[in-house]
Structure 1
Amino acid sequence: MPILENAHALVVGIANYQFVGGLSASVLRDSMDIYKTLTDPEACAYPQKNVTLLQNEKATGAALRDALASLAAKTDGNSIVTVYLSSHGGRIEEGPHRGEYIAPVDARFDPADPSQLAATAISGDEFSAALAAIPARKVLVILDCCHAGGIGETKSLTPANGLTKGFSQAMYDRLGAGQGRAILASARPEEESYILFGDQNSLFTKHLLAGLRGGVAGEDEFVRIFRLYEYVQPKVTAQQPNQHPRFKSNLEENFPVAFYKGGQKKQIAPAPATTEAEFAYDVYISYTDKEPDASWVWETFIPKLKAEGFDPKRIAVAGEVEEPGVTLILEAERALKSSKRVLMAMSNQYFDDPRATFDFELAQDLQVRQENFRLLPVIFAPGIDENRIPDRIRMYTPSDLSKRTESRTQTLIEALKRPLPTR
């Protein structure tokens, strides 16, 4: 069977800490199962010699630094690199040692002396620098460092003791800043990573493993990064609504993470025909019914669609196509399922609108289950706070119509005319 000769990985799992509270044994199962899946010739097909596994007593600060330096030394611009880290992670909010820290097995923490953690852990800045030194342009960093048990589990993890569990959004931004870097985190900064009753793996890693073992759809022999996240995120959140995996990247391509089932080519059915019988609407426009959003939808964009030959009866607009007297959610679901594409007219107030959020969540769920690409995020006016755009939306490459408006609007309209893209 084929092997991804230039694929490399570092897998870290730490449960039994020497000087701070430990974590569930699932951390060790998670890291071991990731290691086995990456090196399985019938799954990801990484060469075993290229994958380093560090668990418990082997995962010292010195060993982690050496392993990261080794990745930088033995990889090149064409390498695929995966770093999986399941351990304690936290941040000091105030004082001279303020910042994020990854805790190796020999980390020390004393609420009265934050300098101990700073001296024995790996800082976020150090970790970012180590990743930046890796020359590969296909790097995936997977972080499961927001476990329910904190570094100071025997002590209260409150701001009073100077330590907060998990990493800040700013750290995810720094880690994902390098070209060809993608960060996949198990939860939002303020959330925890759950283990469901009866499961052997954490919820996040359970679905990550399922995706790497063949659950992720694709048109070629690879598991690709965007599709991996698109597979994992909705499955995790569906089982635990208080956990939302995060994705941050600086990518020019949907790069391969691993082989699909050892290099098999997935058989994809041809793109479905977009006939009147199949889709009642060519496009469903999701927006917030406030100014200036409403004016752009009704006075600018819809007239352009009509001028391009779109049948007004095949343009669905949120709030206008629902049957009176029927539950709103059911009617919105019916309209979305009946639409070839879902256009999201994004603005700062769009992300505060529960109806708009529902539209996106449902459309993304349809994409995952039906293996197609319905979503078309659009920035229609300048001034949007891009930090408010969730990573799970940003990964679809929003069309920014606030720049080169005419040409980009025409490109968007042409995309609406084409058949529904499939994976």
Structure 2
Amino acid sequence: MAFRGLFVGIDRYQSPEIRDLSCAARDAAALEAMFADTLGGQTVLLTDEEASLARIEAELERLFNCEAGDTVIMAFSGHGSETHELIVHDTGYNDIPATSLPLDRLQEWFSRIPARRVILFLDCCFSGGLGAKVLQVPAVPRSLASTEVRLQNGDGRLIFTASGVSEEAWEFSSHGHGLLTYYLLEALRGPADILEAGRLSVYRMLEYVTARVKAAAQQIGKSQNPAMRGQIDGGFCSPL
């Protein structure tokens, strides 16, 4: 069994109409370093101009060649769109459907990865106002209920999102990370209250992250409730 990882973070966008972020590239770099140091294996880090649509698609397709016993972890930090896409470095504001990564396509690729366990962290959002990690698009948004459908997964697959589908996700500029990533990194360092026989349960980790993100958002007068979709049969423990 081997570990494979793909980590994408985008602060700088090619289109001047897309607002830059301040912590997304650092989110991806920190998560890649943490998982690579902990689990070894093969990891790919794509930030800013490296995170083009073609490059991200190519790296996703490489994951189709992993083994059935492998564990795959992916993370994306950047803008989502109101029309259910992940916004990449070279997304064109006036042609979002053709130049971004729709959740439909991501879901299809996600299901085609043969690894027994696949976990995806999305530190972005698909709804919200100024300052949130969402791109407000010129087209009329589709129902957010359909975002929920696109993020559902079955056994052996987990998707952990920074917020509910109708909520905003926020950067924690004073700490240099998005709220989700900041507390995910804290959890991965293994606080004693979530360790089980020296190992870190994914489910305990996500409970820890959820509670702290909700509390931190409330402190700045916001509502942000991370959500988990899918399940890993029998649980999964990440060694520290």
Aligned residue in 2 for 1:246: 227
Paired residue for 1:46, among 32, 40, 56?
40
Instruction: Output one character per residue of 1:25-56: Cα deviation in whole Å (capped at 9) or x when no partner.
Output: 2111111111111112xxx2232xx1000111
Match of 2:227, as an amino acid?
R
Match of 1:13, as an amino acid?
G
* Percent of residue pairs identical: 26
The alpha-carbon deviation at position 150 of structure 1 amounts to: 3.7
> Any unmatched runs of 5+ in structure 2?
126-130
Paired residue for 2:116, among 114, 137, 154?
137
Paired residue for 1:191, among 158, 163, 167?
167
Aligned residue in 2 for 1:207: 183
Aligned residue in 2 for 1:102: 86
Q: Does 1:70 align with 2:62?
A: yes
The 1-side partners of 2:82 and 2:216 are apart by 28
Aligned residue in 1 for 2:200: 223
Aligned residue in 2 for 1:56: 48
Assess, with a 3 A threshold, how the Cα gap between structure 1 residues 197 and 108 changes in structure 2: closer, same or farther: closer
Query: Comparing 141-150 with 225-234, which one deviates more in the overlay?
Result: 141-150
Q: Cα RMSD between the aligned structures?
A: 2.2
The 2-side partners of 1:163 and 1:218 are apart by 45
The 2-side partners of 1:171 and 1:76 are apart by 30
Q: Secondary structure at the match of 1:126?
A: helix
The 1-side partners of 2:111 and 2:206 are apart by 22
Kept after mapping to 2: 8 A contact 1:23/1:149:
no
The alpha-carbon deviation at position 197 of structure 1 amounts to: 5.3
What pairs with 1:146-165 in structure 2 (closer than 5 Å)? 146=125, 148-151=132-135, 157=136, 161-162=138-139, 164=141
The alpha-carbon deviation at position 172 of structure 1 amounts to: 4.2
Kept after mapping to 1: 8 A contact 2:7/2:76:
yes
The alpha-carbon deviation at position 191 of structure 1 amounts to: 1.4
Kept after mapping to 1: 8 A contact 2:123/2:169:
yes
Kept after mapping to 2: 8 A contact 1:107/1:117:
yes
The 2-side partners of 1:132 and 1:254 are apart by 19
Q: Secondary structure at the match of 1:214?
A: coil
User: Larger % of strand: which?
Assistant: 2
Q: Does 1:30 align with 2:30?
A: no
> Any unmatched runs of 5+ in structure 1?
93-99, 111-115, 152-156, 261-423
Assess, with a 3 A threshold, how the Cα gap between structure 1 residues 61 and 220 changes in structure 2: closer, same or farther: same
Greater relative contact order (Cα < 8 A, sep 6+): 2
Aligned residue in 1 for 2:7: 11
Instruction: Output one character per residue of 1:352-383: Cα deviation in whole Å (capped at 9) or x when no partner.
Output: xxxxxxxxxxxxxxxxxxxxxxxxxxxxxxxx
Instruction: Output one character per residue of 1:246-303: Cα deviation in whole Å (capped at 9) or x when no partner.
Output: 11113322123x322xxxxxxxxxxxxxxxxxxxxxxxxxxxxxxxxxxxxxxxxxxx
What pairs with 1:24-423 in structure 2 (closer than 5 Å)? 24-40=21-37, 44-47=38-41, 50-73=42-65, 75-92=66-83, 100-110=84-94, 116-146=95-125, 148-151=132-135, 157=136, 161-162=138-139, 164=141, 168-196=144-172, 198-215=174-191, 217-241=194-218, 242-256=223-237, 258-260=238-240
How high is the TM-score relative to the length of structure 1? 0.51
Kept after mapping to 2: 8 A contact 1:176/1:250:
no
Kept after mapping to 1: 8 A contact 2:53/2:99:
yes
Instruction: Output one character per residue of 1:148-168: Cα deviation in whole Å (capped at 9) or x when no partner.
Output: 1543xxxxx37xx32559x94
